[in-house]
Each structure stands twice: as structure tokens, then as C-alpha cells.
């Protein structure tokens, strides 16, 4: 044993947490307030359990320096608490060999080749949610990787997508998972390709003009392969120790592993993690999972106790991100439908840029899935279209399919519409109504992997997305691409879809016809008119009230046979107008609209 390695060199120690490489040396720093002694064992000292001793700093931190350790070498902390000895991975390790393996010393100093990508304006985003392990999985015995996603970036670009939301990619137990069981929050899942794989995906996506939003989980850790559990040997009530609540507040639906937001060190740990995705990996946004379980002991289900420290955590993270990186989008999956989530912090809110909107997904799915036309409530649909949090129509993420909505006992929309026959005309047409609503309603639209070609299998983390379905549904994929490009403005003349205003022009419960106008007040209004038939009956020369002498031009017809040969025989040639009062408007626009058909018009 080299005695020099046991000597702390405080003047030369680098700042930061974990293993910090600087000036041809490595500083190891870890928080373990109840430890009596801590050593670092690794490749650099033949895994000697007393080879490099750390010295105690203030507030329970320990640090030590060595010039023997090199990048790429493996290590662990050896923590002594009384007679007990624990081998622990570094909580800040950016890479581990596997979820129950060793930490790896490494820098995250990637060559970004001048990457300066920024998300488009949030009202121009279309998000594509995908799971790395299944999205482009090729081998039965190997999960998909970041490189497999890279192979599909051209496809996503052609679809018109400008933002990908990844299910969690922090290291989790095993290789097959949704990702919400993070074991090592700072490490990148090795089976996906580790840190280098994620870097490559983000860099290449940015070259295509596609942003990356990372799903992160701060409401619980693990629960398996979690070295944070009783990290320094201390705990109370048989609970998790310094990183976790040690009373009833530890309980979550995913284990006894809620972080202790009341400890400043734990809040700092989660803050550092949030900033890592942005600063080290150039992610363009964060989607925070189940935030209601950060702010309520029981997730806000009925009478519940608020966790004030959880609110502080989220406000602090959102404040820092907004101040440093105003183009970065933070999204809450809260699903309580409260303005508080997206209201500005200075107005008493939590400060997220957007939140997943239960006021949209639930009534829209119900309307699409219901087998009876008479039961389709157009008032509920109109309310879903126009619902708004605070003053910004784009503070909500709207969707009909997400990883949650197509699993856990729920199926894809086409399968829900026609179980066992998801490629029937009914299933196709009504599913596409949902896609039209998502792309034309105010909010940030999101689709789930495969929705663009009407994937009907429910989401399983051990089965690949069925790209054979895409081969059979290329016309439907073209329809989806046309909608996406109308939404983003790529096709022009649709600024109204990115505006704050939505006006319900026509709502007829008997005919099941709904028409609404999207508008962007100002110099470049470019209003957009959307007409949808929620019933199984064709209409010819159907009247919609329009403004005086307005020349609406047909831009999209969901019933076009170019999308699917089985679609309607009813001719759809645009709108004829006449000076006749309809819907309290001086003029009437007459259209042919097929059963379960959707049309989009611009000026």
C-alpha cells in the first residue's frame, strides 16, 4: 500500500461530487454523514479496501485525491459504520458496468461539434414519445439501443417530428424495463449504449432539427439494485437511510423509496441530476414523472397530506432552469388538472412549462372508443378542445396515446375501438379523428411510438414495435405526416394552429358534426378551420356558419383514398359558400363530409 495515497490533499482537491478528473488527478467526494471511515477501492489500487482513504469535510461530506486513478477504471466506496462495512457505488457515477456492478471513472466532455440547437417555440412542437428498448429493437435477445433510434431519425424527420421524448434512460435493474425503476440516477443505461450512446443520439437528433426531452423520475428510486439504500449504514424504522424518508412518507406505489426532499443534500442531488441532462447531454427538456407523488404523500388521491419540501424542490429546479436555459421545456406528469403546476412561480405556481392534460385525453378517448354514436358527447369534446391552464393555451401536452394509456390494462386506440379487429374501417377512421384532434387543438401535441401507423398492440417493454404494421399502413403514415406538417407550419398558411384562440363555430349533437376555428391574433393570423364528423353517416352540402365572404381552401381530407383505398366514395371537393345565415354567421359554407371524416381548411 502506498502511504501517500492515504493522505488527503485538500488544497489540490477539485470541486464537485463523485469522481472528478482534473489536473492529472481524481478527486473522490461523497456525502455519507454517518460513516466513521471511507475508502475508495478500484482498479487503480488493486481493489485494496484501505488503499485510498477519504477525509471528512463539513456537513457529512468526505473527499480524497489520487494521481493513480485513470479514466475508464472501475471503483467503489468502502464505507465503515461501526463494525459494519458496505461497498457502495458512487451516487454521482455517470456510468456503471451494470445496475449491480461497479462505478466507472469518466468525464462527460463530449465533442458536440458546435451544437447550438434550441427547441422551436413551444407552440410549434410535436412530440414523439418513444421507448429506446423497443422502438427499433432488432434482436429477440437484445434490447434496442440509442444507435437503433439514430437509424430512424430520418424517418421521424420525414414524419415532421421536431421533438422526441425518451422514456427514462438512467441505469435500471436488468435490461428490460419501462425505465421508471432507476437504480443509478446519474448513470446511463448500459444496455441502451451508455453515456456515449446518449450523446450520439442527442447530437445526431439535433442535426436533424429534432430536440430531445428526457423523462426523469424523482418521486422514487429503484426499488431494486439501489446502492442509495441505507447508503452509509444509518437508517430508522428499517427504512432507506439518508437519501430517503425514514417514516411513513417513504411509502410510494413503487416501493418504500421516496427521496427525503426535506434534506438539502437530497434536493441538491436531484437538482444536480436535472441539470446534468441539460448541461452534459444537451437535452432540450425534462418530463418529470408522477409529480403528484413529489408534492403529496398519497399522490393527491382524495384527502392527502402535502409535502412542502417536494414543492420547494420542483420550484427550485424550474426556477434555475428557466433562468439559465429559458428555451428548455419542463413538463410535469401530474394529472391532477391544476393551474398550480404550470402557473409562474412569482404567481404562486410551481413553474413547469407544460403538463400532461387529463382534461384532454380522458374525454377524447371516451368519445373515440364508445361504440354508440348517440353516446358521443360533443360538448365534452368541445370542452376538452378549449380547456386551458392559466393564460397560456400551450401549457398543456395533449395526446390520446402515451406509454401509460396503451398499457396497464389499456390498449391502443384502434384496438379499444374494435377489439380483435383494429384494422377495420371503424377503428381506422375513429382513431384518425383522435389524431386530428391532437394536431389541431391548442396545446403541445404528442403521439406515442407507432401511433402514426395505427399500431394496435399494447405497449410491452420486452417486445419490439411492429414495423411490419408500418409497411401495411404507409398511407396512414402519410396522413399522420400531413397532419404533423400542418401543425408545425412546414406546409405554410396554418399559423392559426399555433395561436392562442379557439372558437367553436358549429356543434350539432344530432348530426354529430363539430367545427372549430383556430386563430393567432396579430399581423399573421392565418386562421384554420377544422370540421369533424363524429358519426357514421355521410353528409352532402352540410352547412357551417362562416364569416362574410370567406374563401376557405381545403388542405386536408382524412377520407381521401390516397390514404386508404377503403375510405369514402363521397366526393370531397372543398367548400361552396352562399350568403345564408347559419350558426349566427352571415354566410354558410357547404361541404360534403363523409362518416367519421375530418377536414382542415385555410385561407
Taking residues 108-133, report their average pLDDT: 97
Do residues 18 and 91 touch, judged by C-beta distance below 8 A?
yes
Q: In whole angstroms, how far apart are CA 482 and each of 156, 160, 260, 414, 557?
A: 13, 8, 47, 20, 10
pLDDT in tens, 360-402: 999 999 999 999 999 999 999 999 999 999 999 999 999 999 9
pLDDT for the residue 523: 82
Strand locations in 131-249 (E):
163-166, 170-172, 182-188, 211-216
Q: What is the 3-state secondary structure (H, E, C) of 473-509?
A: CHHHHHHHHHHHHHHHCCCCCCHHHHCCEEEEEEEEC
How many alpha carbons fall within 13 Å on the CB side of residue 568? 23
DSSP-based three-state secondary structure for 21: strand
Q: Is the confidence at residue 80, as pLDDT, over 70?
A: yes
**Strand residues in 11-121 grouped as ranges (E):** 18-22, 25-31, 37-42, 52-56, 61-66, 74-81, 84-88, 103-104
Residue 142: pLDDT over 90: yes
The per-residue pLDDT for 302 is 84
Beta-sheet pairing, 285-288 with 211-216:
parallel
539 φ, ψ (degrees, to nearest 5): -130, 135
pLDDT score recorded for residue 364: 98
Whole-angstrom Cα distance, residue 598 to residue 582?
20
CA–CA separation, 284 and 330 (whole Å): 9
Give 31's pLDDT tier (boundaries 50, 70, 90): very high
pLDDT digits (tens, 9 = 90+) for 540-598: 999 999 998 799 999 999 999 999 999 999 999 999 999 999 999 999 999 999 999 99
Q: Which cell numbers hold the place of 390?
A: 392559466
Q: In angstroms, how far is the first alpha carbon of the chain from the final one?
A: 80
Q: Is 1's pLDDT higher than 70?
A: no
Q: How many CA atoms lie within 13 A of 398 on its CB side?
A: 30
Amino acid at each position: 500500500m502506498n502511504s501517500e495515497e492515504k493522505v488527503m490533499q485538500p488544497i489540490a482537491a477539485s470541486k464537485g461530487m463523485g469522481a472528478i478528473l482534473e489536473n492529472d488527478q481524481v478527486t473522490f467526494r461523497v456525502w455519507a454523514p454517518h460513516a466513521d471511515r471511507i475508502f475508495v477501492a478500484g482498479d487503480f489500487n488493486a481493489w485494496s479496501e484501505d488503499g485510498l482513504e477519504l477525509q471528512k469535510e463539513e456537513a457529512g461530506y468526505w473527499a480524497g485525491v489520487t494521481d493513480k486513478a485513470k479514466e475508464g477504471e472501475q471503483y467503489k466506496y468502502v464505507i465503515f459504520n461501526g463494525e459494519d462495512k458496505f461497498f457502495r457505488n458512487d451516487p454521482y457515477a455517470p456510468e456503471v458496468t451494470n445496475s449491480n456492478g461497479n462505478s466507472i471513472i469518466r468525464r462527460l466532455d463530449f465533442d458536440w461539434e458546435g451544437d447550438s440547437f434550441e427547441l422551436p417555440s413551444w407552440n410549434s412542437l410535436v412530440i414523439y414519445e418513444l421507448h429506446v428498448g423497443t422502438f427499433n429493437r432488432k434482436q429477440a435477445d437484445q434490447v434496442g439501443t440509442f444507435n437503433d433510434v439514430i437509424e430512424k431519425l430520418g424517418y421521424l424527420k420525414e414524419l415532421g417530428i421536431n421533438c422526441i421524448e425518451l422514456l427514462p434512460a438512467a441505469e435500471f435493474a436488468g435490461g428490460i424495463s419501462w425505465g421508471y425503476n432507476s437504480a443509478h440516477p446519474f448513470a446511463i443505461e448500459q444496455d441502451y449504449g451508455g453515456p456515449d450512446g446518449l450523446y450520439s443520439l442527442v447530437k445526431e437528433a439535433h442535426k436533424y432539427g429534432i430536440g430531445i426531452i428526457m423523462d426523469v423520475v424523482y418521486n422514487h428510486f429503484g426499488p431494486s439494485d439501489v446502492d442509495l439504500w441505507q447508503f452509509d449504514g444509518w437508517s430508522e424504522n428499517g427504512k432507506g437511510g439518508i437519501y430517503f424518508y425514514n417514516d411513513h412518507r417513504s411509502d410510494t406505489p413503487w416501493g418504500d423509496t421516496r427521496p427525503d426532499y426535506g434534506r438539502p443534500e437530497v434536493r441538491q442531488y436531484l437538482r444536480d441530476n436535472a441539470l446534468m441532462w441539460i448541461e452534459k447531454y444537451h437535452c432540450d427538456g425534462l418530463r418529470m414523472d408522477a409529480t403528484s407523488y413529489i408534492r403529496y404523500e398519497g399522490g393527491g388521491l382524495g384527502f392527502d397530506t402535502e409535502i412542502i419540501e417536494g414543492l420547494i424542490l420542483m420550484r427550485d429546479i424550474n426556477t434555475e432552469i428557466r433562468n439559465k436555459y429559458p428555451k428548455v421545456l419542463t413538463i410535469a406528469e401530474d394529472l391532477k388538472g391544476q393551474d398550480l403546476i404550470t402557473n409562474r412561480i412569482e404567481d404562486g405556481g410551481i413553474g413547469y412549462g407544460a403538463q400532461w392534460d387529463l382534461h384532454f385525453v380522458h374525454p377524447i378517448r371516451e368519445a373515440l372508443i364508445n361504440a354508440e354514436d348517440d353516446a358521443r358527447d360533443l360538448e365534452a369534446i368541445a370542452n376538452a378542445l378549449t380547456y386551458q391552464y392559466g393564460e397560456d393555451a400551450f401549457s398543456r401536452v395533449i395526446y390520446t396515446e402515451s406509454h401509460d394509456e396503451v398499457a396497464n390494462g389499456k390498449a391502443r386506440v384502434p384496438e379499444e375501438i374494435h377489439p380483435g379487429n383494429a384494422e377495420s374501417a371503424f377503428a381506422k377512421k375513429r382513431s384518425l379523428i383522435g389524431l386530428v384532434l391532437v394536431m389541431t387543438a391548442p396545446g403541445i401535441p404528442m403521439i406515442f411510438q407507432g401511433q402514426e401507423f395505427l399500431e394496435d398492440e399494447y405497449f410491452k417493454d420486452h417486445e419490439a414495435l411492429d414495423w411490419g404494421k408500418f409497411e401495411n399502413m404507409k398511407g396512414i403514415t402519410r396522413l399522420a405526416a400531413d397532419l404533423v406538417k400542418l401543425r408545425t407550419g412546414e406546409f405554410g398558411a396554418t399559423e392559426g394552429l399555433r395561436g392562442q384562440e379557439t372558437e367553436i363555430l358549429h356543434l350539432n349533437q344530432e348530426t354529430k358534426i363539430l367545427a372549430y376555428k383556430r386563430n393567432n391574433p396579430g399581423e399573421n393570423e392565418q386562421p384554420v378551420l377544422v370540421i369533424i364528423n363524429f358519426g357514421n353517416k355521410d353528409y352532402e352540402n352540410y352547412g357551417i356558419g362562416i364569416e362574410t365572404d370567406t374563401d376557405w381552401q381545403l388542405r386536408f381530407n382524412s377520407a381521401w383514398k390516397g390514404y386508404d383505398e377503403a375510405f369514402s366514395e363521397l366526393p370531397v371537393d372543398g367548400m361552396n359558400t352562399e350568403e345564408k345565415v347559419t350558426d349566427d354567421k352571415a354566410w354558410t359554407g357547404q361541404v360534403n363530409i363523409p362518416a367519421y371524416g375530418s377536414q382542415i381548411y385555410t385561407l
